[in-house]
Amino acid sequence: MNSTNSTRVLRVLVTTVASDSHSWNLVYLQLMLEEMGHIVDNLGPCAPVDEMIARCLESRPDLVVVSSVNGHGYADGMRLISTLRSHRDLRGIPVVIGGKLGIHGTENQDHTDRLLLAGFDAVFSDGGGLRSFESFVRQLPAGAA
Amino acid sequence: MRCTVTVTEPGSAPVAAPPPSAPSVRYGAFANFISMARAAGELVVQPRMGMCDPKQMRAGLLATKLARATTVGTITLDSFTRTGDLAAVRSALRDGVDLNGYPIVTYGPERTREMLRGICEEGFPVQIRHGSPAPKDIVATLMRAGIDATEGGPVSYCLPYSRTPLRESVLNWARSAEMLSEFRGVGVEPHLETFGGCMLGQLCPPSLLVALSVLEGMFFHQHGLRSISLSYAQQTHAGQDQEALLAMHRLAGELFTDIDWHVVVYTYMGVYPNTERGALRLLGEAAELAVRGGAARLIVKTAAEAHRIPTIAENVQALEYAANVATGTERSDIIGTPPESEIYRQASDLVHAVRELHADIGVALRMAFDRGYLDVPYCLHPDNAGRARTKLTEDGRLVWSRVGAMPIKPPRSGWATTELGSAELLAALSYVARRCDEEAAQLGTLPAAERGQVE
Ligand code: B12
């Protein structure tokens, strides 16, 4: 465990996009974050945007992690983030997305740029994403939102 | 217990399929094709193909038809259509965003029929594969497009695919199965395949997969279907999978005495090997399993599986590779399940425990999940008890480590209780992929393919 940040316990909302039913990714991310010492609320597969927003408004997580692998992550992620950021109270919550976001395998820089522009704080494309995700999480202060 | 079912050559049905009731009703293109291939002793191979663009979809089906193998076609639907979000389909098509499948409801029956023109004639059947717990519109569209085969199930298209309450999925699937059965009104006996032998694709022990497949088959039968297929997805150990297929044939032979049925094997549905050689190795093992286990049909996976939606060429490669291996594989002489089969005993106990809950299989399935008699490991769906867990043994068998309330007897050593951590979970999920990548790298050749091509 990282000694400098070991006291910061984050409340993390793990979710996916509305069309994505894959759940092993969610189970895995939950375990990984819990092992880092954080508290995870896992919304499960096919979570509708409205449900995710309601949960954010109610529990004000310190971080929202969106994971998608079905190839619709870009299209669905764009809708998700614009809806989320349109809520005044949710503008400051760190929100990241990762997984297999398109259907062509290679990282699509254009998609990444657009997702960032639309309001994600970080985009972790498949492959080497987990390491940088871990360091991203370690940088976060608790109670940021 | 005496072993009653004889698993015969793939050429002849384990149970003689009776003709559809009315003399004017004929088996649909799909069921008919499978039974003819079976009679000829050929394994049918089928892709998991689904393209967004109708031109591409047509090209893919044509390439499937022309592949050097005994093939049937697949149209796999996209995730927006699966979840009923047709507005998202429209905006994706408008914005030129690629979907992960063919949006059949949005294109509609006329355009789909046009897409299929000339392809489905001469007995090349096509099946729709989707993953929807509310398939009414999908089934209505495919029927109007003239397609007589699809896939699903009240449990298997709900738990792994949605957060829809099981109760609703059961009602939806009852209605949809009845609707599909109405094909009989125009003289065609439709075909429905259960996805119950796959569920979340990995870490679900064979006995539960066999039981769910059989139970969904019974559900289809109760709602009017007379031609069904039972699926089983390749798991972590070839010997265990073979036993599971024999158990499935035996159970199905006991329960489906007056309908047409066959067994379909799915090439591994969990985390796939990274390398092309590793991927083909796993596919070769699936083809061998299908032949040895007496299956009539195999659904293949491509070398792109671990990475992205495959191209048409990758699909053709997989079909031909699997067909080659199948041709070079000898059927073993194992007849029926060994009397001691633990997989058969567990599957049979599960099926009977569920049947005893209620005469209506749909209601019984709901009650079974409610009580935890059926409990899919690692499934996050709210209607799944979520107490069951699994582990891999040293020799790669997939076994229970915890059964929750399921009517399964504990092994002599008792249940393990430890939960997997993230690294252990990933290791278990990647066990098959790692083994195949490593073995393929060590061998440096594709042994299964060579064997297939010797003929
Ligand atoms: C198991 C599986 C299924 C199961 C899922 C069961 C369940 N409920 O989870 C079943 C069989 C039901 C299924 C269904 C479908 N699947 Co699927 N599935 C897979 C498979 C084989 C393994 C996925 C898995 O379990 N991985 C294990 C977990 C732990 O890892 P992971 O998901 O890969 O995530 C890792 C990284 O991506 C990363 N990561 C993920 N998210 C995030 C987020 C952040 C922030 C970070 C930092 C990292 C990160 O970390 C994880 C650990 O390394 C993959 C192919 C493969 N990988 O071999 C296809 C795959 C993901 N499926 C795919 C598709 C398209 C579908 C379907 C739409 C059917 C179809 N058209 O083929 C449906 C889904 C329907 C829907 N509504 O979405 C495609 C996606 C294509 C693409 N993106 O280009 C894949 C790649 C297969 C393929 N090549 O076609 N699937």
- For residue range B223-237, list pLDDT tens digits in order: 999 999 999 999 999
- Is residue A3 a part of any domain in this protein? no
Reported as a single tens digit per residue, the pLDDT across B259-290 is 999 999 999 999 999 999 999 999 999 999 99
Please tell me what DSSP assigns to residue B39. Answer: H
* Mutate which of B305, B378, B422 for ligand 1 pocket (most atoms within 8 A of beta carbon): B305
Average pLDDT in the B197-204 region? 98
Cα separation, B50 vs B297, whole angstroms? 19
Q: Is A130 touching ligand 1 by the criterion CB < 6 Å?
A: yes
CB atoms A42 and B380 under 8 Å: yes
Reported as a single tens digit per residue, the pLDDT across B17-45 is 555 555 677 889 999 999 999 999 999 99
- Is residue A70 a part of any domain in this protein? yes
* Domain range enclosing A27: 8-139
Q: B15 pLDDT exceeds 70?
A: no
Nearest residue (by CA) to ligand 1, atom 62, is A70
In this complex, is the C-beta atom of B173 within 8 Å of any C-beta atom belonging to chain A? no
Residues of A in contact with B92 (CB under 8 A): 75
pLDDT bucket at B445, cuts 50 / 70 / 90: low
Structure tokens at B360: 């209506």
Residues of A in contact with B311 (CB under 8 A): none
Structure tokens at B233: 């997805």
What domain count does chain A have? 1
Q: Is B376 touching ligand 1 by the criterion CB < 6 Å?
A: no
Please tell me what DSSP assigns to residue B71. Answer: B
Cα separation, B209 vs B437, whole angstroms? 26
- Give me the sign of the Cα torsion angle B165, B171, B175, B177: positive
List phi, psi (to 5°) of A115.
-65, -40
Helix axes B342-355, B361-371, angle to 10 degrees: 110
- pLDDT for residue A92: 96
Average pLDDT in the B184-206 region? 97
Q: Is B306 touching ligand 1 by the criterion CB < 6 Å?
A: yes
CB atoms A27 and B421 under 8 Å: no
Coil, helix or strand at residue B155? coil
Nearest to B345 by CA among B255, B253, B290, B409: B409
pLDDT bucket at B10, cuts 50 / 70 / 90: very low
Nearest CA in chain B to A105: B308
Q: B9 pLDDT exceeds 80?
A: no
- pLDDT for residue B330: 83
Nearby residues of B284 by Cβ (< 8 Å), 6 or more positions away: B321, B322, B325, B446, B447, B448, B449, B452
Residues of B in contact with A36 (CB under 8 A): none
Please tell me what DSSP assigns to residue B8. Answer: -
Structure tokens at A42: 């896992």
Question: 10 Å Cβ neighbour count for B267?
Answer: 26
Measure A21 CA to ligand 1 centroid, in angstroms. 9
Cα separation, B43 vs B295, whole angstroms? 8
Q: Is B159 touching ligand 1 by the criterion CB < 6 Å?
A: no
Nearest CA in chain B to A16: B162
Read off the pTM: 0.94
Torsion-angle region of residue B42: left (phi > 0), alpha (psi -120 to 50) or beta?
Answer: beta
- Is residue A144 a part of any domain in this protein? no
Reported as a single tens digit per residue, the pLDDT across B135-173 is 999 999 999 999 999 999 999 999 999 999 999 999 999
- CATH number of residue A86's parent domain: 3.40.50.280
List phi, psi (to 5°) of B76.
-95, 135
Cα separation, B274 vs A48, whole angstroms? 32
Closest Cβ opposite residue A44 in set B131, B163, B425: B163
Q: B8 pLDDT exceeds 70?
A: no
Round to the nearest angstrom and report the end-to-end CA distance of chain B: 40
Structure tokens at A32: 């990984």
Q: Is A64 touching ligand 1 by the criterion CB < 6 Å?
A: no
Q: Is A47 touching ligand 1 by the criterion CB < 6 Å?
A: no
* Mutate which of A19, A20, A21, A22 for ligand 1 pocket (most atoms within 8 A of beta carbon): A22
pLDDT bucket at B3, cuts 50 / 70 / 90: very low
Q: Is B82 touching ligand 1 by the criterion CB < 6 Å?
A: yes
Coil, helix or strand at residue A42? strand
Structure tokens at B303: 């070398």
Nearby residues of B429 by Cβ (< 8 Å), 6 or more positions away: A24, A28, B202, B203, B270, B271
Give the distance from residue B337's alpha carbon to the nearest chain A alpha carbon, in angstroms.
33
In this complex, is the C-beta atom of B24 within 8 Å of any C-beta atom belonging to chain A? no
Structure tokens at B77: 């639907």
Q: Is B89 touching ligand 1 by the criterion CB < 6 Å?
A: no
ipTM for the complex?
0.93
Measure B33 CA to ligand 1 centroid, in angstroms. 32
List phi, psi (to 5°) of B438.
-65, -45
Q: B48 pLDDT exceeds 60?
A: yes
Question: 10 Å Cβ neighbour count for A6?
Answer: 11
**Amino acid letter, residue B176:** S
Mean of pLDDT over chain B: 91
- pLDDT for residue B6: 36
Domain ranges of chain B: 37-444
Coil, helix or strand at residue A99? strand
CB atoms A45 and B380 under 8 Å: yes
Q: Are strands B73-76 and B126-129 parallel, antiparallel or unpaired?
A: parallel
Closest Cβ opposite residue B162 in set A21, A35, A42: A21
Tell me the Cα Rg of chain B. 21
- Is residue A145 a part of any domain in this protein? no
Coil, helix or strand at residue B389? strand
pLDDT bucket at B2, cuts 50 / 70 / 90: very low
List phi, psi (to 5°) of A75.
-60, -50
8 Å CB contact between B215 and B365? yes
- pLDDT for residue B332: 63
- pLDDT for residue A2: 44
- pLDDT for residue A128: 66
Reported as a single tens digit per residue, the pLDDT across B356-408 is 999 999 999 999 999 999 999 999 999 999 999 999 999 999 999 999 999 99
Closest Cβ opposite residue A28 in set B78, B309, B422: B422
Nearest to A76 by CA among A58, A52, A93: A52
DSSP string for residues in B256-276: -SSSEEEEEEEP--SSPPSSH
Residues of A in contact with B429 (CB under 8 A): 24, 28
Asked which of B62-66, B84-88, B335-339 is least confident by mean pLDDT, the reply is B335-339
Interface probe with B: pick from A12, A15, A17, A19, most Cβ of B within 10 Å: A19
Cα separation, B263 vs B306, whole angstroms? 26
Does the domain at B37-444 match CATH 3.40.50.2000? Answer given as no
CB atoms B163 and A28 under 8 Å: no
Task: Give, in degrees to the nearest 5, the angle at Cα B114 between B112 and B119.
Answer: 95
CB atoms B425 and A45 under 8 Å: no
Closest Cβ opposite residue B380 in set A18, A23, A102: A23
Q: Is B420 touching ligand 1 by the criterion CB < 6 Å?
A: no
The stretches in chain A having pLDDT less than 50 are: 1-5, 144-145
- pLDDT for residue A108: 82
- pLDDT for residue B21: 58
Measure A90 CA to ligand 1 centroid, in angstroms. 29
Nearest CA in chain A to B160: A21
Residues of A in contact with B83 (CB under 8 A): 18-19, 21, 46
